[in-house]
Amino acid sequence: YGPAYEHAMIMDHELRKRKIRDQVPMTFVTSEPYIGHLGLGGVGDTKTHIESVLRQRHIKWVTNARVDTVEDGLMHVTEVDEDGADKRQHDLPFKYSMMLPAFRGIPAVCGIDGLVNPRGFIVVDEHQRNLK
């Protein structure tokens, strides 16, 4: 998730440098349950810090989201609740968009029953072990 935040900050900086940021609305869409989760449950107080930075830069956000479809200039996004049920639809117009592909485990271990989850990541316990 970090590279997505980095890209948003780079874009904001470049638009400000060109003195056109006020003409370009930005919305940060993430599958994270909250801003600053980073796939790690947060690191320190990342939620408060990153939300503050996004607010200061007038970047809106949608969390716990999935991208349903993308058309020319329009992205259809669904925000889901903590149980995965649809909560709210967002139709986001855009002239430029950057998307990161979904994270997946490596092919060498994908599909090994008891070793990996459905996305191919090795399942570990609280001691970072897989007992398979």
In a structure prediction context, what are the per-residue pLDDT tens digits for the chain, which is 132 residues long? Answer: 889 999 999 999 999 999 999 999 999 999 999 999 988 877 788 999 999 999 999 999 999 999 999 999 999 999 999 888 999 999 999 999 999 887 788 999 998 999 999 889 899 998 999 987
CATH says 2-93 is which class?
Answer: alpha beta
Place of tokens 């796939």: 39
Q: Let me know the angle formed at the C-alpha of 25 by 95 and 97, rounded to the nearest 5 degrees.
A: 35
pTM of the model as a whole: 0.80
Taken as a whole, the chain contains a residue count of 132
Q: Let me know the angle formed at the C-alpha of 37 by 132 and 62, rounded to the nearest 5 degrees.
A: 125
CA separation for the pair 27, 118 (Å, rounded): 30
CA separation for the pair 30, 109 (Å, rounded): 27
Domain boundaries, the chain: 2-93, 103-132
